[in-house]
Structure 1
Amino acid sequence: MNSHLWQAFGLSTAKHAVYPVVRNQLAELTGSMKRATSGREYRKLCSAAGNLFQLAGEIHFDSDRYSEAAHSYTLAASASKEAREYDLWACALTRQAFIGLYDREYSATVPLLESAAHVAQRGDGQLSTRYWVSAVQAEAFAKLGNYDACRRALDKAGEVRALSGAVHNGGWLRFDGSRLAEERGTCFVALDRADLAEAALTDALKQPLSARRRVGVLADLATLGIQQRDVDMILENARAVIELSRQTKSGYVGRRLQSIRMRLTPLLADLRISQLSEEIATFERKVT
């Protein structure tokens, strides 16, 4: 059941539509946990809860409801710890860290990711968990301006390619290295390394991407254009983000668009940029 819900979440453009089923399933699980008659049964139920609470958190996160997402991830981490499922636990901690990244609490995020890395070391070495943690650590270091630590973490994340077999489960763990170009691009934009960022993001766009992932790459390219004051680059990529935003009700996508608009302020003297800013503001008013 859980794997089907993760699949439905991944395929849906309106991801919040999956939440009622997840909520009902969690209510049943919580009741079963209270009635468990053995430690083995209890741990099995905790594992299922740790899985589903992460999905609930993902749904809240995508809807821009960070407080609810944080609560779900906390419950997921607690249940996963009780289940002694170290990979599941590490992933819950890593998802908690994402909230800190998007709230720009970078310094507080680093220790949480260190904890996730420590837990992941106790997990299954054939899974990609520890490498996903490294990829997220790279972004945190990039946001803090620590180029050397970021590169080390990216190199560690890249080691996922040496794994063979089933390295993820397609649900609470989906990292397989296919997003490394996107992640490098995000990091190098944050580090203001245009030379490295554009190459990575261009490579990322050559891959088949979901609407949400494509928005992330295009938003990073728009940000890169802002850093370089390249108006054509800004317009091309920002308008592509607007178009994709019309196809999804994702709060994540809306936040990326809002971030672009805020960064446009120093360039508003250019009429084309001013018009773009108004386009984004008009779109934001329509969806709120």
Structure 2
Amino acid sequence: MGLAERRKALGYSQEALAGLLGVDRTTVGRWESGRIEPQPPQRRGLAKALEVSLQELDALLTQPRAKGPEPTRQSGDHASGGDPDDMIRREFLRILTVSGALMALAVEEAEAFTDGLLTGTPAVFEQMNSHLWQVYQLARSKGSVYPVIRDQLTALNEALAAGRVRYQALLSVSADLFQLAGEVAFDGNRYTDAAASYSLAAAVSREAGAYDLWACALVRHAYLDMSEQRYRQATQVLSAAERLAGRGDHELATRHWVASVQAEAYAGLGDLTACERALDQAEEVTHLTMNGTTGGWLRFDGTRLAEERGARYVQLGRLDLAETTLQTALGQTALSSGPSYRRRSAVLASLAAVGAKRRDPDQVLVYGREAVTLARASNSGYVARRLQALCEEFGPLSRDHRVAELGAEIATLSTPLREG
């Protein structure tokens, strides 16, 4: 039995299954035809909808696929399932070739940003990158920043082709922008785009000799491994990032951010001692004077360490420690300046997870409902993933109709695969 047969056996149409999973009907068609594979967050939801285990789902996906015409592309259907062939058809590769270097990013063709920017100096590009990171940080919907990033890349490409920017000066600017493009793709669950962007950022940073940029690109790559629960692989990537950060600028917080993410990987492996040691190293960021500047690609300043520590304790099952720490973090999000929908909803999801592990439906509902409201306001794929992970903790609580209704609300959250 293949994927399509299992769907039909349960009485789902492609449209019904797509609606349940928050994807386009054409995405379901591509899964069934074998043109693309579901991304990790989609696999969990798909397995649940088809009432099979993840192992059984893998078997369904490897069965011979039904042949038929490719589904008609709908307007705005941007790489819904992370289909690399589709991205290539959308001008996946933009090539910059100077002095034998090859650099590319998965973006569509776009018009030049402005005539003034095209004739600008590297400092102008750096200033624009810094502005884009600020916009990204404050934006409710991270995908809304992508078109401007795309235009900035086009401007860089055309300025380079015209010989208006020195190659060496361009490298760090490009590595910076590749990381931002990767962040937007990752938040929208476009893992193939994100991996391509982070790999390019690492390669360009290496050529520029920019160790901090290079380390940060590896850290962001490690998040891709952890999103698939490949924690041991993540620790290997982070170990390399740690060594690079050690060669970087010690006025920057790079090495402390590496330690913070290492704590998450260690928690995933169930190693409390290593996790707490890494968190302690991360907290040393408070001793920095923060004289170094990055323009936005390194934003770690320790203000989120309480929520990070709380989330790690949830991973490790240390619920009392988790709740105390998360309550402190929740108060900090209320005091933070500017919109903090994504940050606050992540803390709320962690507190709801504590309630689920304690089998306390009221705690799940109080925090879970507010997190869902904020997830809708932010349209963040990251928050949607956190809430989908919460559903996996419900267990017997799912028999409570209120918790079941919350789970149904979470299922309707779309992880924005078509951003940009």
Query: In the alignment, what sits opposite 1:64?
Result: 189
SS in 2 for 1:175: coil
- Deviation track 1:42-70 (CA, whole Å, cap 9, x = no partner) reads 22201000000000001111111111111
Contact 1:33–1:46 (Cα < 8 Å) also in 2: no
Q: CA deviation at 1:240?
A: 0.7
Residue number among 192, 201, 216 corresponding to 1:91 in the alignment: 216
The amino acid across from 1:257 in the alignment is L
Query: In the alignment, what sits opposite 2:406?
Result: 276
Number of residue pairs matched by the alignment: 285
1:88-167 equivalent positions in 2, closer than 5 A: 88-166=213-291
Identity over aligned residues, as a percent? 49
Change (3 A) 1:204 1:170: farther
Work out whether 1:222 is the aligned partner of 2:347: no
Residue number among 156, 161, 175 corresponding to 2:300 in the alignment: 175
Q: CA deviation at 1:16?
A: 1.2
Give the Cα separation in 2 of the matches to 1:104 and 1:79: 28
SS in 2 for 1:174: coil
Contact 1:128–1:168 (Cα < 8 Å) also in 2: no
Give the Cα separation in 2 of the matches to 1:190 and 1:24: 40
The amino acid across from 2:341 in the alignment is A
Change (3 A) 1:60 1:286: closer
Change (3 A) 1:168 1:181: farther
Q: Which runs of 5 or more structure 2 residues have no equivalent in the other structure?
A: 1-127
1:21-32 equivalent positions in 2, closer than 5 A: 21-32=148-159
Work out whether 1:54 is the aligned partner of 2:183: no
The amino acid across from 2:389 in the alignment is S
Q: CA deviation at 1:30?
A: 3.7
- Deviation track 1:67-87 (CA, whole Å, cap 9, x = no partner) reads 111110111111111111111
Q: Which runs of 5 or more structure 1 residues have no equivalent in the other structure?
A: none
Q: CA deviation at 1:202?
A: 0.6
Q: CA deviation at 1:35?
A: 6.5
The amino acid across from 2:130 in the alignment is S
Residue number among 378, 386, 390 corresponding to 1:260 in the alignment: 390
Residue number among 147, 166, 175 corresponding to 1:20 in the alignment: 147
Give the Cα separation in 2 of the matches to 1:148 and 1:12: 36
1:193-232 equivalent positions in 2, closer than 5 A: 193-207=318-332, 208-209=335-336, 210-232=340-362
Q: CA deviation at 1:168?
A: 5.3
The amino acid across from 1:4 in the alignment is H
Contact 1:32–1:45 (Cα < 8 Å) also in 2: no
Q: CA deviation at 1:287?
A: 7.9
Query: In the alignment, what sits opposite 1:234?
Result: 364
The amino acid across from 1:171 in the alignment is G
* Greater Rg over alpha carbons, structure: 2
Contact 2:186–2:194 (Cα < 8 Å) also in 1: yes
TM-score scaled by length of structure 1: 0.93
Name whichever structure is richer in helix by fraction.
1
Q: CA deviation at 1:274?
A: 2.2
Contact 1:168–1:176 (Cα < 8 Å) also in 2: no
The amino acid across from 2:393 in the alignment is R
Q: CA deviation at 1:170?
A: 5.6
Give the Cα separation in 1 of the matches to 2:258 and 2:414: 36
Residue number among 361, 365, 373 corresponding to 1:243 in the alignment: 373
Range that drifts further, 236-245 or 162-171: 162-171
Q: CA deviation at 1:278?
A: 2.5
Give the Cα separation in 2 of the matches to 1:43 and 1:286: 38
Residue number among 306, 309, 327 corresponding to 1:184 in the alignment: 309
Range that drifts further, 177-186 or 247-256: 247-256
TM-score scaled by length of structure 2: 0.64
SS in 2 for 1:242: helix
The amino acid across from 1:135 in the alignment is S
Give the Cα separation in 1 of the matches to 2:175 and 2:302: 24
Give the Cα separation in 2 of the matches to 1:287 and 1:140: 25
Give the Cα separation in 1 of the matches to 2:145 and 2:189: 15
SS in 2 for 1:90: helix
Contact 2:216–2:254 (Cα < 8 Å) also in 1: yes
The amino acid across from 1:151 in the alignment is E
The amino acid across from 1:266 in the alignment is P
Give the Cα separation in 1 of the matches to 2:184 and 2:253: 22
Q: CA deviation at 1:192?
A: 0.4
Give the Cα separation in 2 of the matches to 1:108 and 1:204: 29
Change (3 A) 1:84 1:35: farther
Give the Cα separation in 1 of the matches to 2:416 and 2:280: 39
Q: State the superposition RMSD in angstroms.
A: 2.0
